[in-house]
Structure 1
Amino acid sequence: MTNDQRLNSESSPSFISPALPPSFMAENPPADRPIRLGIMASGSGSNFEAIAAAIFSGQLHAKIQVMIYNNPQARVLERANRWQIPAVFHNHRDYKRREDLDAKIIETLHEHDVELVVMAGWMRIMTPVLIDAFSNRILNMHPSLLPSFKGGQAVEDAIAAGVKISGCTVHLVAAEVDSGKILMQAAVPVFPNDTRESLHGRIQVQEHRIYPLAIAIAAGGIHRRSAR
């Protein structure tokens, strides 16, 4: 574990990160240096914390350079402070156009030398300005088994459709919402008495498990391209 990954015991949150399977680690060995992450979040930040915990435990060879948030009430700021991660606030209400917000985000990502962008509950539609600036280097987590149930009501839509299986998907961000290349998925059962909260809770357990795996896959691709 590097000094960047190590935090003192008093400031380290108690979040438990899932271990990456040995078979996965054998097929996806870490590069000589950690991938530099920029995380974007709007809400509670549980996926942010799962990623930070995976790094701290040595399961994910990465470093979070910056956490960008757009909601002044977002609990993710508390998590970033506990993990001693730099946080930058960009209030989307201060920008007349989505493109202007994304241009400012690009500046912040470049200032912090970010290689891979990770959306962890970012509740704004991303424009081609940002997508093109980090082409094939932006990940998103969606709470369904894409391509089923795209959009912001995925959990409710799965329950309304009466499906027996739902889950989550990590994918590359493309111009069309929830349509980019799928990197990893996990399935969860849907029970007859499920509410949005109960189903989403089970989905989040799997989100926390597979996001570090998907980041490792994406990082491997970036390292291989940069080595050419």
Structure 2
Amino acid sequence: MAADFRSGARAKRPDRHPHPGKRPRRQTVLARRRGGTIVRPGAGGDRLRAADRSAAPRQGRRRGFRRAARQIGLQRLAAAVERTGRIRHGSGIGARNEKLRFRKGRIQRLAAFPRRFVRPVGRSERRFSAGEATVLHAPRTGGRRTRSRRAGGSVSVRRERRTGNAMLKPLHDPANGPLRVAGFMSGSGTNLRRILEFERERRRRGERPSFEVVVIFSDNAQSQAAAIGADFDLPVVIRDLAGYYRARGLPRKDMKAREQFDAETVRALAPFAVKAVAYAGYMSIATRPLIDAWLGVNVHPADLSIERDGRRVFVGAHAVRDAIQAGEAMIASTTHIVEAVVDGGRLLMISPPLPVEWPAGTRPGDAAALAAVADHNQERLKRAGDWVIFPRTLHFIGLGRFAQDEQGRLYFDGEPTPKGHKIEKTEI
């Protein structure tokens, strides 16, 4: 029957197809995604994108195609996570009533999958079984595995953050509670006092603590550790290093004895469940037992990002003096991770630059007054540098803002910081 063009009416379709042998197969929608509709392939209706056709069977039972459609959805989801570092709002995959949906980076709904399905995608493996799913998730902070209930099923989420092609793991996951810190000291402990005051001030304002000092340790029986512990109601452990060597008749340079001392210190602090150590004026070299046991954070009175021929310039106990003697007009403090090389650990934060000040009666280049000038500026730097970045470094670690990739490179808020995170006065 021909169409009536004058009335705009369309001709009725004949009851029987004019060519029964060439009738297109019925299209069955199996999975809908934002990018379009996936339909069952066949003569007259293969709407899979060209890049996806190799992953779907040309012919076969519906069960086989549904499995292939799910593979395609997972591949697209994995590619989106690796490309953007997050799961977009409302993105999801599914097949008929089997749907796993994400909204704003969180699982919204999970319906039980009827059969076990395993498909390796990239570096992760997505598993779907009866009511259970394991998915790669990319939230803002990331870092741990959690289990929760959704629609009668169990969901295990590996919370890690992906930046570009790098999988980032935070130095501490705030979901595990505040970072438990041990304060190590050898002398007056002024840096440790400032850390404790920073923590106490946040509690006084009603803010959730990001870290908490749970124990004080000192290797010097003459230090102020007991006084600080009494002032802040903290347990104190003192193991005098000089007495340790003297009792065994060993010289202080015996590093094997030092490793044994540190191993015993680790066992002594085990009941406190320490996760990190703040080396706040700890004058002994940390050996492998301490480094392997906990994350160590130290502050150094110099800008460790300054290098010459690939080596850090201002290291050691006389860093301030060396910087002034080298003609540096500005000095700064640096927090870094404690590692095997002294002052050679990965950089965390660098304080705002502080102009070198020459006291009255001295002038630049005065070698005789250099020691006094260095002491004067080191005390200024302690207040303007150490006391600013040391507690904030622990605070940011406790918030999960510092992370590392598979190669151990550090990131701050997802951005690589090979030279440390330098802060300005406006950030204090």
Cα shift at 1:166: 1.1
1:175 aligns with 2:333: no
Go from structure 1 to structure 2 and tell me whether the alpha carbon gap of 1:164 and 1:89 turns closer, same or farther (over 3 Å shift): same
What residue identity is the alignment partner of 1:49? R
1:204 paired residue among 373, 376, 382 = 382
Pairs within 5 Å for 1:80-91: 80-91=229-240
Pairs within 5 Å for 1:120-135: 120-134=280-294
Q: Give 1 or 2: higher helix fraction.
A: 1
Pairs within 5 Å for 1:181-196: 181-186=346-351, 187-193=353-359, 195-196=373-374
What residue identity is the alignment partner of 1:42? S
Cα shift at 1:105: 1.6
CA distance in 2, matches of 1:112, 1:34: 14
CA RMSD of aligned residues (A): 2.6
Give the unaligned 5+ runs of structure 2. Answer: 1-140, 142-169, 251-256, 305-311, 360-371, 405-428
Larger radius of gyration: 2
8 A Cα contact 2:334 2:347, kept in partner: yes
Tell me the secondary structure at the aligned position of residue 57 of structure 1. helix
Cα shift at 1:64: 1.2
2:178 paired residue among 34, 40, 49 = 34
Q: Give 1 or 2: higher strand fraction.
A: 2
**Match of 1:219?**
398
1:145 paired residue among 291, 303, 317 = 303
Q: Which has the higher contact order (CA 8 A, sep 6+)?
A: 1
CA distance in 2, matches of 1:190, 1:220: 33
Go from structure 1 to structure 2 and tell me whether the alpha carbon gap of 1:145 and 1:57 turns closer, same or farther (over 3 Å shift): same
**Match of 2:217?**
68
What residue identity is the alignment partner of 2:290? L
CA distance in 2, matches of 1:169, 1:130: 21
8 A Cα contact 1:48 1:76, kept in partner: no
* Worse-matched range after superposition: 125-134 or 115-124: 125-134
Q: TM-score, normalised by structure 1?
A: 0.78
Go from structure 1 to structure 2 and tell me whether the alpha carbon gap of 1:222 and 1:40 turns closer, same or farther (over 3 Å shift): farther
What residue identity is the alignment partner of 2:196? A
Q: TM-score, normalised by structure 2?
A: 0.43
Cα shift at 1:223: 10
